Chain A
Amino acid sequence: FLTFEGNLKWDHTDLTYRVTNYSPDLDASVINDAFKRAFKVWSAVTPLTFTQVYSGEADIMIMFGSQEHGDGYPFDGKDGLLAHAFPPGQGIQGDAHFDDDEFWTLGAGLVVNTSFGNANGAACHFPFVFEGKSYSHCTAEGRSDGLPWCSTTPSFDQDKLYGFCPSELLYTYGGNSDGAKCVFPFVFDGTSYNTCTTEGRSDGYRWCATTANFDQDKKYGFCPNRDTAVIGGNSQGEPCAFPFTFLGQTYSSCTSEGREDGRLWCATTSNYDVDRKWGLCPDRGYSIFLVAAHEFGHSLGLDHTSVREALMYPMYSYIEDFQLHQDDIEGIQFLYGRGSGPKPTPPGPVPPTQTPDVPDQTTLATTTEDSGFQPTEPSPVDPGSDACRVQAFDAITEINGMMHFFKSGKYWRTSQSLKGKIQGPFPIAETWPALPATLDAAFQDLLTKKIFFFAGQRFWVYTGKSVLGPRGLEKLGLAPAPARLTGALQRGRGKVLLFSGEHFWRLDVKVQRVDRGYPRQTEETFGGVPIDVHNVFLYRGKYHFCQDRFCWRMTPRYQVDRVGYLKYDVLHCP
């Protein structure tokens, strides 16, 4: 790692930051969350704390801008330079600037969060079917008010779940109108406008008046980018105009025709041949979280490193499972020292194998009457091993009223009665000796309290300390047996749904056989969740589908009501 000349660093650890403006590419809430997470990257390994303020001068002022944006270090349009930041100090020092000619996302392409509708803000599901026709972007079809909308499940015709897409017809951001929608037409400088405009501004941001006359009322806001907003070209931020005509042909989606580089583009008026207005279509974009985490490293005093895998390497690459590299940790701890969090402690004495059974108070209350199962209190194997640092668990389920998180031969557990405290890790082999180290799924039958564990194409059934298995999945009627299960959902008494990729089965636990009519397509019933999830489990009465560190939470009425983090929403990590 490298630090700036003179080891520039902050002279206090309680730092403040302020976001002075937002990009039209993402909801302000998404940007705020990304910045919060980016700061957490550094606060997790140092004594530094970061507090967002909303007025006045903060230590770290954050802004979006393009080209020359006031500091003498201009950005360069789309791609190339993404952002920059200044080392610690007063004034502009410590500030971070992001190039708004980039397409800012979370790194994996457009995410369209909806507003209003009946899907509780769930993201659009593209493509979706409406009146038998497939749509891969928001549409105003079916509406007389022109508001773009989308389905949040694969089929609106079937599920009737929808929300409205970002649009100036719905709201604005920034400005002085508290998010009021645009009023069209509006008058600015004596001219009437029917769309958002960049006129009157030098920074290229599209704006509108929120009353009929800006000249008179001076009320305005910035227009959020629609899902089809173009990047660059000569129409930055304008939506594609589908269908459009190009060299006499009609196009209803982005095309690479006319270009040598294969990049997709669209016209922003109905006829490119006449108007020549165009822009590039949204791509994967750059992760505002990853770029911000890098820039904040500069804001704290780190210079560029030569370690390619480190966050402070100067070139951008998208990392799905981000973890701070040791080089970055050593760099920031060189400047600020280590955090004040729990430090590793030496392992305690290994308990003798013939200890008397000491029931856990929480499990005792829920299990002894039903099954006589008095589990041996497991011993933590490595108190320094933190569940909050696990990227993805092998399996997650509720056993005896406690959420259990399995990972590579160990498990953690937590419950509401523990008030967020996570116990463990415990060795799986100590509690359930017959199981392999890596599990795929597990569930406890609510009636018999039997616990089913799945690994590959085998399963085990524990009743107290007795175990049956391993047996093949085909014994449950899963034929052909999937390579592995991803999770299980208790479905009332005696029924459990077993998931594997695109399919799920309903298991009758009493007869230990899947019901007829299965497997079914996961997306048909559980629309709006990814099919490549890693864990499926029930938590606090809601279905959770987790992919990587993100979880889609679904109500029993199959509405995705939140996309959040396993770490914070389920594990309640600090």
Chain B
Amino acid sequence: PLPAKPQVTITFPGELVSQKSNMELANEYLSRFGYLSETKKSGRQESTTKALRAMQKKLGLEVTGELDQATLEAMRAPRCGVPDVGS
């Protein structure tokens, strides 16, 4: 018989667990890759929506302007560190 295994979930020391909310993650991504310029990082919904649309268009996602599941997954996917927009 298989031995009983631990069923608990633990917190591993040194694990980089992101404490950021989805919106914080999105803003960081949009800023890092050039969709949200420094001057527009005011947190205004309008700027974020516009940046999201630009990002979705650039990456070939459905352009919704929303932080939907596909967009979040794209933001978490492995990628090149060179910005998509700007220098």
Contacts and interface: CB of A to CB of B under 8 A. Distances in A.
Interface of A: 4-5, 73, 75, 77-85, 232-234, 246-249, 257-260, 265, 276, 278, 286, 291, 294-295, 298, 303-304, 306, 308, 314-316
B20 interface: no
A84 B14 contact: no
Nearest to B60: A308
A313 B47 CA distance: 24
B57 interface: yes
Q: How large is the interface on B (under 10, 10 to 19, 20 to 34, 35 or more residues)?
A: 20 to 34
A86 to B, nearest CB: 8
A315 B6 contact: no
A4 B59 contact: no
B3 A249 contact: yes
B6 A246 contact: yes
Interface of B: 3, 5-6, 8-10, 12-16, 33, 57-60, 74, 76-82, 84, 87
A80 B14 contact: no
Contacts of A232: 14-16
A285 to B, nearest CB: 11
A463 B58 CA distance: 59
B6 A81 contact: no
B60 A81 contact: no
B8 A247 contact: yes
Contacts of A84: 80-82
A75 B82 contact: no
B15 to A, nearest CB: 7
Contacts of B58: 304, 306
A82 B80 contact: yes
Q: Which 4 A-B pairs have the closest CB atoms?
A: A234-B14, A84-B81, A247-B6, A81-B81
30 contacts: A75-B81, A80-B76, A80-B78, A81-B79, A83-B80, A232-B14, A233-B12, A233-B14, A233-B15, A234-B12, A234-B13, A247-B8, A247-B10, A248-B6, A249-B6, A257-B5, A258-B8, A258-B9, A258-B12, A260-B9, A304-B80, A306-B57, A308-B60, A314-B33, A314-B80, A314-B84, A315-B74, A315-B77, A315-B78, A316-B77
A295 B80 CA distance: 8
Most buried by A among B3, B9, B10, B81: B81
Given A233-B15, A259-B9, A314-B59, A298 B87 contact: no
B87 A4 contact: yes
Contacts of A85: 82
B20 to A, nearest CB: 12
B62 to A, nearest CB: 13
B60 A83 contact: no
Contacts of B33: 314
Nearest to A261: B9
Given A81-B80, A84-B81, A315-B79, A258 B6 contact: yes
Given A249-B6, A258-B12, A286-B78, 17 more contacts: A81-B79, A81-B81, A82-B78, A82-B80, A84-B81, A233-B12, A234-B13, A249-B5, A257-B5, A259-B9, A265-B12, A295-B80, A304-B58, A304-B84, A314-B82, A315-B74, A315-B80
Nearest to A82: B78
A246 B12 CA distance: 12
A548 B5 CA distance: 41
A83 B78 CA distance: 10
B59 to A, nearest CB: 7
A467 to B, nearest CB: 51
